[in-house]
Amino acid sequence: MGGLTVMRALKARLPNESFVYLGDTARLPYGTKSVDTVTRYAVQASAALMKHDIKLLVVACNTASAAALPVLAETLAPLPVVGVIEPGAQAAVAAAPDGPIAVIATEGTVRGGAYVRAIQAIAPHMPVVQQACPLFVALAEEGLRDGQIAELAAQRYLGPLLATMPRPRALVLGCTHFPVLIDTIAKVAGPDVALVDSAQTTAAAVEAILQEKGLLNMDGVMAPRFLATDAPGRFAHLGEIFLGEPIDPGAVTLVDL
C-alpha cells in the first residue's frame, strides 16, 4: 500500500506517463520478513509487471529496495530499475550536509542497514542513527494519520532518537507508508528537523533516467492500472489514503503470483 505514495509523486512529476501498480496485499507486511523471502516476493512481483510491457520498474518499497534491488537489476537488465533508498539518501545528505541524520523505517530496513550504507557512500563520515517504527505501518493502513494514538506512537519512537546528541538535523521517512503520517511526525520532531520523503527524489531520478534514455512520453496518458494479490476492494478503499485520490475498484485486478 505504501508504494502508492511513490506513485503519487511520480504521477505529479510525470503527468504524461502511464502506470501499472502492483500491491502485494496477500503477503504484506514485508518489513518483518527475511531478506531471502522479500527477494523472492519482489522477483515474483516484477515478473507479473513485466507482462504489461513496462519500460521502467520502480521498487516502491524501502524493504524490497534494500533486499532485492541488485537481484532485480541483474534479472531484468537492460530494463532500468529504480529503488527508493539511494534517492532518499541523496536527499538526506543535501538536507543536512553536516549531519547527523536519523532514519525511521521498518524492522527489516533498519536491520539491514541499507540507509546507513547509502548515506555513508555519499558522506563517509556522516553519523546516522536509526529507529524501527513498525506501528506506523498499521496506523497508516488504518487511516489513523493524526490524533492521540498516532502522536503517542510518534513520541514513543522519535523521543529517544531525537534525544541523541548532537541532535539529528534530518529525519528520513524510510518506509513508503510513513508520508501518510508526516504531519504527526513533523509535530513531534519539531521545526528544526528536516523531513526527507524519498518519494519526491525517486520521482526526480525516474524522470532523469527516462530523459537520458529518450523514453519520456509526450503523447498523453492511459488510466492507471492496479494489480492486487488479495482483497482488491480493500486495496481500492485504503489506497485512496496513500495515493491522495480515489481508486476505481473496477481498475483493480486480482492477480496470483
Q: Which domains does the chain have, with CATH numbers?
A: 3-83+201-254 (3.40.50.1860), 85-198 (3.40.50.1860)
Give catalytic status of residue 61 as yes or no: yes
Q: Are 114 and 66 in contact (CB under 8 A)?
A: yes
Say how far apart CA 194 and CA 130 lie, in whole Å: 15
What would the pLDDT profile of 60-82 be if each residue is shown by its tens digit? 998 899 899 999 999 999 999 99
Counting every residue, how long is the chain? 257
Sign, CA dihedral 112-114-115-119, equals: positive
Q: Cell numbers 526526480 correspond to what residue?
A: 204
Q: Are 224 and 19 in contact (CB under 8 A)?
A: yes
Question: Concatenated DSSP letters for 21-40?
Answer: EEE-TTT---TTS-HHHHHH
Residue 142 pLDDT greater than 90, yes or no: no
Lowest-confidence pick of 27-31, 203-207, 212-216: 27-31
Residue 240 pLDDT greater than 80, yes or no: yes
Residue 222 pLDDT greater than 90, yes or no: no
Contacts of 53 (CB under 8 A, 6+ apart): none
Query: Considering just the CA atoms, what is the radius of gyration of the chain in Å?
Result: 18
What would the pLDDT profile of 182-192 be if each residue is shown by its tens digit? 999 999 999 99
C-alpha cell at 41: 516476493
Full-prediction pTM beyond 0.85?
Answer: yes
| Nearest Cα to Cα of residue 215 among 80, 118, 67 | 80
Q: Are 244 and 11 in contact (CB under 8 A)?
A: no
* Active-site residue (options: 89, 175, 188, 205): 175
Q: What is the pLDDT of residue 94?
A: 95
pLDDT over 90, % of the chain: 81
What would the pLDDT profile of 111-140 be if each residue is shown by its tens digit? 889 999 999 999 999 999 999 999 998 899
* Active-site residue (options: 22, 61, 81, 181): 61
Q: Are 101 and 119 in contact (CB under 8 A)?
A: yes
As a whole number, mean pLDDT of residues 144-170 equals 93
